[in-house]
Structure 1
Amino acid sequence: MNANEFYITEIARPTIEASLPDGRIITGRRGAPLKDFMEVIQDQADSLIVGAIVDGNLRELTFPLKKDAEVTPLTLSDADGARIYRRSLTFLLEAAFRRCFPGAVLTIDHSVSSGGYYCQVEGVPDFSQADLDRLDTTMRDFVQQDIPFVREVVPLEDAIAYFKSVGEDDKVRLLKYRPRKDLVLYSAAGTRNYHHGYMVPSSGYLKWFALEMLNDAFILRFPRRHAPTQLSPMMHYPTLLKTFRDYGEWLKKLGIPSVGALNDAIEDGHIDEVILVSEALHEMQISEIAESIDKRKDQVSVILIAGPSSSGKTTFSKRLSIQLLARGITPFALEMDNFFVDRDKTPLD
């Protein structure tokens, strides 16, 4: 090998290459945002591109590509892409809510099965369909304006001071336990907030959503991965919704309505008290279930307990059995786990 055949280039070439999984290569300006590269192939994608995996790392579309890289586009059909979209949509909702109802409080709560988040409003008397329509119109105006979502890394103490100034005490409680000394904030339309992950570059990406009134609250609806540009039919599960609401009230009784409050309870040495009160509330609920069964004992013959793996089904059945025994009912607990056998004893077809 002749050493004279090799040399060092003093000036880096002005372009870089983004190699796609299918073998195609996009050549573009060094330092250009990932968004510019993805726009070249957007027409061939199955749905909107909202992020990418760059050399094995998740990146948002504002990320500058400064060297050749392996790039896998993420669309609304991908799990990470769907999360980016939902996260960005909640930020859009927050910005529109602050514009429409300054001083009021919006709580984005639990998810709903048909694709959406349950949202509660405080500080708007008799929140109505007209209020929701106004909020919807403002969100769509922001989408039309294609407002940039500006990302900034700020010192943690500055972020805490900001959230104190706007009355977001839950975030202050949470962030004071953060080990890192900085925080990523996003800004748009006069709203500044912290979210757990990446965002789309601007509001113009967020075209698919709906707001639906539900009692004195509303649902922020968004597409699901299997149909990324369509909203699934809204399904109502009043019993499940009541369970979530009861759980929220339970947390308020315990004094831990947020993760930050839970951290405070641990830090202050009150966690044992929280656990004991939680157990008492749980036992009270089990007693109420047993009482309901006792009232219908002539009609009830089988009680089914369902839940995911390791969720406490067996323990719950034993605690319920004790409450039933206290009411003179002798149950027979049948644990389905006992029907599993070792692999070498599994019958084969």
Structure 2
Amino acid sequence: METIRITLPTGRVTEVPVRTRSGEVIAREKLDTPRTTGKPHSPIVATLINNELTSLSYRLEVSSTLVPVTLDTPQGLMIYRRSLCFLLAIAARNILPGRRLIIGHSLGDGYFYHFEDSPELSDQECGQLRDEMRRIVAEDLPIQRRVIAYSEALSYFQKNNMPDTELLLQSRNESKVPVYACGEFMDLSHGPLLPRTSLMNVFDIILHPPGFILRYPSSRDPYSLQPYKDIPVLFSIYQEYKNWGRMIEINSVGRLNRVSRTKKIKDFIWVAEALHNKKIAEIADRIHQRRDTVRVILIAGPSSSGKTTFAKKLSIQLTVMGLRPVAISLDNYFVPREQTPKDENGEYDFENIQAIDIGLLNDNLLGLFRGEEVRLPEFDFRTGDRSFDGPTVQLPDRGVVLMEGIHGLNDQLTPKIAPEQKYRIYVSALTQLNLDDHNRIPTTDNRLIRRLVRDFQFRGHSALETLEMWPSVRRGEDRNIFPYQDSADSAFNSALDYELGVLKSFAEPLLHDVKPHDEVYHEALRLLSFLANFMPIPSHYVPDQSILREFVGGSAFKY
């Protein structure tokens, strides 16, 4: 029998027969043996084969490097959460047959769900779902990846009341469809799942009208659930957009693809853009209602959320209301390089709030509020130093300062400014589209694809460089932005339901440049697989004042 060479994490090379499963190599080499480290044992849940993330049932066909993926890694936690969704779908079919379970959006450390066209879930039904999930976990059932015929998959999803999954499949044309199965239940494969149900013992279901939340462990502690913290501002924004998607009957990728094949996609783009402009105008109205007290508008949000274009569009709407906004760049208030705090690795931490000259910023703002002329600093990112040769600014009558930056919602940035003088806005791309009935589109992926395109278009960065930098960006967001999002006076959803169809044509060639020897290759493959679900949409359909132009180019605004 033909054999292939497998290189293990220790560097040792072993030979195995062709088509050996990766999980069999794990077992044979005793790679999942608990270590005496004082930490809970984290089981192996997947493998990286030549940097491609695969399930433990993956069959090895060429000589490969094999790296185990444990549950406590970012990849392992992603697999755990996806597997919990799979487990919930099984439990819902068993307990509430005939009712259509729909995944919604992330909310804290959990996913919001509801049952389509059904009464709200009761406390009793919520408990029954939780108990059924625990029963399935206790049974220790295998979860297996299979490949079935296209026609068989279509028939199964049609018969099992999963119309958005069926519709997504109609956008694809592969003769063999990968699915995951547990007992008689199947769902489309969107990435590896855990090999057995017994590995999913940390979860909860809590009622959250009009649906419920499937809670999962946070990345900070993969072995337990943190206390639940509601975020009512974001939840209301999500629900508003979900209701809008249902109203126009485009709330899944399959439905978007159906429109993308026709000339109606132009009309849908204009409607989506009009909704953006309407929401920005509403925020401007709320600021105008507080015009007698608000002196500074602080805009914050995670990377690639479209903060810069939002600020420019908000400025126009404020001008319509009779206000006279003056933009100030927070980037010019960085302290000199030698005063910049360092992170745990000894690198400059530019996202630390102490990297901002808070005293100077507050003194300048107070001076502007008093009607004084203020000379603004200018920071040179090349030399890491600043000068005070910037422009002289004075607030005009009915003037208001407009400032955008990652720390805008943190009161430590503006401790000298009275609360009633501040209006805080949180911006993020909270997409309302689902991939299908049981699989959502992560907001993080939406932003990452935006950033991949923008970094290449305007900063000369390859996809490899952006993917390598992304974990650090995410850690900064977790530390400096997300803890303060519920303190916003208003939230703006910058996602455009059509945008991934446009970004697809820009992002795919960049991701193909990431090669198997690159450590982030598995991430490039995951994003390529994700984008494969979308029909392309021509970029020339995008209006020149769209937030999307900040990433693909051709904007009417100057940056």
TM-score, L = length of structure 1 = 0.86
Conserved in 2, the CA contact under 8 Å of 1:88 and 1:199? yes
Report how far residue 225 of structure 1 moved.
3.4
Match of 2:107 in 1: 112
Match of 1:82 in 2: 77
Larger Rg: 1
Matches for 1:219-234 after TM superposition, within 5 Å: 219-234=213-228
**1:255 to 1:149, Cα distance in 2 relative to 1, 3 A:** same
Conserved in 2, the CA contact under 8 Å of 1:170 and 1:258? yes
Report how far residue 342 of structure 1 moved.
5.1
**1:12 to 1:309, Cα distance in 2 relative to 1, 3 A:** closer
Match of 1:92 in 2: 87
Matches for 1:164-243 after TM superposition, within 5 Å: 164-243=158-237
Report how far residue 103 of structure 1 moved.
0.5
**Separation of aligned partners in 2, 1:309 and 1:201:** 34
Match of 1:42 in 2: 32
Aligned residue type for 2:69: L
Conserved in 1, the CA contact under 8 Å of 2:150 and 2:175? yes
Report how far residue 69 of structure 1 moved.
4.6
Post-superposition CA distance 1:131-166 (Å, at most 9, x none): 111111111111111112232212223212222222
Match of 1:62 in 2: 57
**Separation of aligned partners in 2, 1:280 and 1:261:** 20
**Separation of aligned partners in 1, 2:283 and 2:261:** 35
Report how far residue 341 of structure 1 moved.
5.2
**Separation of aligned partners in 2, 1:54 and 1:74:** 10
Match of 1:6 in 2: none
Post-superposition CA distance 1:228-266 (Å, at most 9, x none): 211222121111111111121222344311111111111
**Separation of aligned partners in 2, 1:267 and 1:31:** 40
Relative contact order, CA 8 A, sep 6+: which one is greater?
2
Post-superposition CA distance 1:202-235 (Å, at most 9, x none): 2122122111221231111112333221122212
Match of 1:4 in 2: none
Give 3-state SS (helix, strand or coil) of 1:164's partner.
helix
**1:18 to 1:279, Cα distance in 2 relative to 1, 3 A:** closer
Aligned residue type for 1:48: P
- Pick one of 142, 147, 158 that aligns with 1:148: 142
Report how far residue 123 of structure 1 moved.
5.2
**Separation of aligned partners in 1, 2:14 and 2:202:** 29
Match of 2:489 in 1: none
**Separation of aligned partners in 1, 2:115 and 2:289:** 38
Kindly indicate whether residue 110 of structure 2 is the aligned counterpart of residue 122 of structure 1. Answer: no
**Separation of aligned partners in 2, 1:304 and 1:134:** 45
Report how far residue 85 of structure 1 moved.
1.6
**Separation of aligned partners in 1, 2:322 and 2:313:** 15
Give 3-state SS (helix, strand or coil) of 1:334's partner.
strand
Match of 2:8 in 1: 20
Identity of aligned residues (%): 35
Conserved in 2, the CA contact under 8 Å of 1:47 and 1:228? no
Report how far residue 49 of structure 1 moved.
0.9
Conserved in 1, the CA contact under 8 Å of 2:331 and 2:379? no
Report how far residue 92 of structure 1 moved.
0.8
Match of 2:430 in 1: none
Post-superposition CA distance 1:140-198 (Å, at most 9, x none): 11111111223221222321222222232212221112142321112224322113011
Match of 1:8 in 2: none
**1:224 to 1:29, Cα distance in 2 relative to 1, 3 A:** farther
**Separation of aligned partners in 2, 1:330 and 1:169:** 50
Kindly indicate whether residue 78 of structure 2 is the aligned counterpart of residue 72 of structure 1. Answer: no
- Pick one of 219, 241, 249 that aligns with 1:247: 241
Q: Which runs of 5+ in 1 are unaligned?
A: 1-10
Match of 2:363 in 1: none
Give 3-state SS (helix, strand or coil) of 1:303's partner.
strand
Aligned residue type for 1:35: G
**1:149 to 1:296, Cα distance in 2 relative to 1, 3 A:** same
Match of 1:344 in 2: 382
Match of 1:5 in 2: none
Match of 2:260 in 1: 266
**Separation of aligned partners in 2, 1:48 and 1:184:** 25
**1:309 to 1:210, Cα distance in 2 relative to 1, 3 A:** closer
Which stretch shifts more, 90-99 or 259-268?
Answer: 259-268
Post-superposition CA distance 1:288-312 (Å, at most 9, x none): 2122111111121111122344433
Give 3-state SS (helix, strand or coil) of 2:325's partner.
coil
- Pick one of 272, 278, 287 that aligns with 1:284: 278
Match of 1:313 in 2: 307
Conserved in 2, the CA contact under 8 Å of 1:211 and 1:220? yes
**Separation of aligned partners in 2, 1:313 and 1:307:** 7
Post-superposition CA distance 1:2-24 (Å, at most 9, x none): xxxxxxxxx668xx875431346
Match of 2:553 in 1: none
Matches for 1:314-329 after TM superposition, within 5 Å: 314-329=308-323
**Separation of aligned partners in 1, 2:321 and 2:58:** 64
**Separation of aligned partners in 2, 1:215 and 1:163:** 27
Conserved in 1, the CA contact under 8 Å of 2:121 and 2:207? no
Report how far residue 343 of structure 1 moved.
4.1
Report how far residue 59 of structure 1 moved.
2.1
Give 3-state SS (helix, strand or coil) of 1:175's partner.
helix
Report how far residue 337 of structure 1 moved.
5.8
Runs of 4+ in structure 1 displaced over 6 angstroms? 25-30
**1:145 to 1:292, Cα distance in 2 relative to 1, 3 A:** same
Conserved in 2, the CA contact under 8 Å of 1:26 and 1:37? no
**1:338 to 1:259, Cα distance in 2 relative to 1, 3 A:** farther
**Separation of aligned partners in 2, 1:134 and 1:26:** 48
